[in-house]
Amino acid sequence: MPFHPINREGDCEMVKTRRKITALRVLQVLFYALGFPLFVHLVLLASSSYRDSYFVAGFGAWKPVIYAAVLWAVVILAQLLFRAVCRKNRMARTVLVALVAAVITVGPILYCDFILKNDYESDAAAAEEKGVSLPSYESAITSFDEYVATTNSEIQQFIDVFYLETFGSRNYNKGGNTDGTLSGYEDADAPYNELPYTIEVEYDAENDIYYSPNGMFVDGYRFGYYAAKQVLTDYYYNKLNYKPRNSKDNIDVYLGEVLAELESNPNSDWNKYKRGAAASSFAMEGFEYIYSSSEYDNAYGENGTANKYYITKDRLDEVLAVLSAALTEQSGTINDVIKGIIAALDLFKVDLGPTFDMIIGLVDTLMQELDGLDTDKLLSMLNDTKITLEDGTEQSIAQLVFGLLGMEVSGDLTWETLQELLASTAISVYISPSTYPIYYFIEDEGLRDYAYAKYYATVHGAKIGSLLVDESPANGVEYVGHVTMSSSGTINPYTGSQLLSLFEKWDTEKEIQGKYYPFFILRSTLIKMSAVITFTLIAAYYFTSLIDKQYAKLTLKAEGGRK
């Protein structure tokens, strides 16, 4: 190769070229970044409120961003393809890529406005028929984040009122649930013979509910949104749609009758179940025991597994024996206190009326019968001591005491009715997870759903401090939710029918949010970005070509040493 001395002018030129290349590279990257990368970032920002929605979780929450990334990926693939196909013709390549970019970005907008719009509007019309009004398509595509936020705050209020665990439920308990791990007996049937035996808990992911083998919510299960919605729907739907048979009838009366029949009829499935009769003898079709025909006896019989989890008659006898011994020791003092109170009432000229007389009467009777007090003796005392009320009617102390507590006793108070009262007020109730509850044997499906829902809403809810329904509101004010030793709960702001329509609304919104909102988010960003993306992509190609041109100059110089 011949030698060419290099002149200074040429060298300067080359340096300038290199600087130009650097500047062009910056512009090339900048313009590329202003296209799809910026677009994906904007979709990420625009979808942040969507990701906060209670109704989308996990993969679903990232749909808008994933869609945006897919659009970008398609264009990258097209770029690679055109690079291979049009190797020489840079202009043709640019035009083709610009075309793809335009189609890819404008396409979804057109898809939304011409296809999805019709779907959305027909869904909105269908929702309207169910009494749920959705925003117009034009409002939805612009203000989707406001709608998400509004629904979220409605649901948050629902969670707060009923003191739900959070939107999600919870089944976490120290050492397992009472129904998760229990002490068994070596000589018992499976699974009770495993020490300690474990009862499987089944998780229903769709409704976020943990179930025991008997099909009931596990002990200590704390409602999430879906469980509370299911319980309240079953409760109010059946209650409000019940057709009374006469003027005094309602679903609770009907349920009471059905349960009484199941209890009293020796041939009812419930009684057969308790006796452990052959499964084939049940009126219910396809009945099967959970473990074995002795499962009820294993739980509630003598030394049954369930007995230590609620107040049994033996337990109550133990408690009463201790109390009666203590009171006997202090009977003299008690009499003195009563006398003192009566004297003070006279002194202050206070008349407490029949309530006070009743209490004094009860204490008086109790003091006389203290010796050997047990459940039976207490019950007969409560039934036999009568008080004449101001209106002249006579009532037993049992009726009066339980009446004051908001519970009704018809006839004499027996151990069974007392147990029912303790159970229905959630003071002492335990349904073994290894046995079916009586509700399982109710034939009428609607009534059965109602019975379960009523149990969950009032008894289970009262246990866990998440009361869903207050069945005996004081002065018509229903207190629900966080009813504990230190909190009186929240005044229920919803009526049953309001709740049912809210659930309808939220169900519809869940569906709409999942089905349309990712596209609406994409559309809202594309509207602003489609032209920008196409333009910046072309610009990036243009700068690439300029860079290549500058390189060509460099190569020329290096070879020839001059222009």
Partner 1 sequence: MKKVLKLLLFIIGFPALLAFVAWKSVIVLQEGSSYSFWPYVGLILAGVIFIAYLITFIVTGKKSKKNAGNRKKVMRQVVALVLVSFIFTAGIWLVVDIPLPGILDSATAGTVTFDKLREDYADQAEQNGLLIDNFVKWNYANGNLDNGKSLDYWLEQGWSAPEVKNLVSVNFKSIDKNGYVSFRGPWINLADDDRLTIPVLVHLVLNKREFNEEIDFIMNYEMIPNLIQTDDNPENFNRGEELTEEQKELLVKWSILDMQGTPMEIAIDLGNMQSLVTYLLGSMSELIAPLLYTLNEAIADDALAGTPIYIGIDATEGNFALKIGSTVEARGMWDYKKSAWLNSNHLLFAVISLFPARQWLYLWGAVVIFASLAIGALRLKEFGGKDEENEDAAEDAYNAYEPDWAAIDAEATKDMSPYEKTYYYAQQARNRR
Q: Specify the residue, 149 or 426, whose C-beta has the smaller distance to partner 1.
A: 426
Which alpha helices (H) appear in 191-294, and where do they start and end? 225-240, 251-264, 269-275
C-beta of 484 vs 501, nearer to partner 1? 484
**Of 417, 407, 459, which is closest to residue 437 (Cα–Cα)?**
459
Q: Which residues neighbour 194 within 8 Å (Cβ) at sequence distance 6 or greater?
A: 184
Q: Phi-psi bin for 372: left (phi > 0), alpha (psi -120 to 50), beta?
A: left
Q: Rank residues 194 and 329 by Cβ distance to partner 1 and give the closer one.
A: 329
CB 390 within 8 A of CB 354: yes
Residue placing its CB nearer to partner 1 in the complex, 7 or 193: 7
- According to DSSP, the β-strands at 488-491 and 479-483 are antiparallel
Alpha-carbon span 232 to 152, nearest angstrom: 19
Which residue's CB is nearer to partner 1, number 92 or number 337?
A: 337
Min CB(291)–partner 1 separation in Å:
22
The pair of structure tokens assigned to 281 is 């003898």
Contact set with partner 1 (CB under 8 A)? 1, 3-6, 8, 11-12, 14-15, 18, 172-178, 180, 219-220, 222, 308-311, 315, 318-319, 321-323, 325-327, 329-330, 333-334, 336-337, 340-341, 344-345, 347-348, 350, 426-429, 462-466, 482-486, 557-558, 561
Residue 491 is encoded by which pair of tokens?
């005044």
Residue type, 483: V
Q: How far is the CB of 23 from partner 1 (least distance, A)?
A: 13
Q: Find the shortest distance in angstroms from Cβ 322 to partner 1.
A: 4
CB of 6 to partner 1, least distance (A): 5
To 10 degrees, what angle do helices 117-129 and 496-515 make?
170
- Residue with Cβ nearer partner 1 (1 or 477): 1
As a whole number of angstroms, the distance between CA 433 and CA 519 comes to 46
Q: Judged by CB, which is closer to partner 1: 136, or 166?
A: 166
Number of helices (H), then strands (E), in the chain: 21, 8
Please list, residue by residue across 227-255, b when 16 or more beta carbons sit within 10 angstroms of its beta carbon and e when fewer do.
Answer: bbbbbbbbbbbbbeebeeeeeeeebeebb
Nearer to partner 1 by Cβ, of 373 and 533: the residue is 373
CB of 335 to partner 1, least distance (A): 10
Q: How many CB atoms lie within 10 A of CB 93?
A: 20
Smallest gap from Cβ 175 to partner 1, in A, equals: 5
Distance CA 410, CA 93 (A): 91
Residue 308 to residues 179, 246, 315, 316, 438, Cα–Cα distance (Å):
12, 42, 9, 12, 20
C-beta closer to partner 1: residue 14 or 499:
14
Which H or E element spans position 503? helix 496-515
In contact, 282 and 269? CB cutoff 8 Å: yes
Chain-centroid distance of CA 171 in Å reads: 12
For partner 1, the closer CB: 12 or 76: 12
Nearest-approach distance from CB 145 to partner 1, in angstroms: 28
Q: Pick from 500, 502, 482, 480: which is nearest to 491 by CA?
A: 480
Q: Give me the least distance between CB of 341 and partner 1, in Å please.
A: 7
Identify whether the C-beta of residue 464 lies closer than 8 Å to the C-beta of residue 90: no
> For residues 6 and 85, which CB has a smaller minimum distance to partner 1 in the complex?
6
Residue 427 CB, shortest distance to partner 1, in Å, is 6
Q: Which is nearer to partner 1, 265 or 368 (CB)?
A: 368
Q: How far is the CB of 306 from partner 1 (least distance, A)?
A: 11
- 112: which DSSP letter? I
Smallest separation (angstroms) from partner 1 to the CB of 199: 13
| Least separation in angstroms between CB 211 and partner 1 | 15
- Measured CA to CA, the distance from residue 453 to residue 3 in angstroms comes to 98
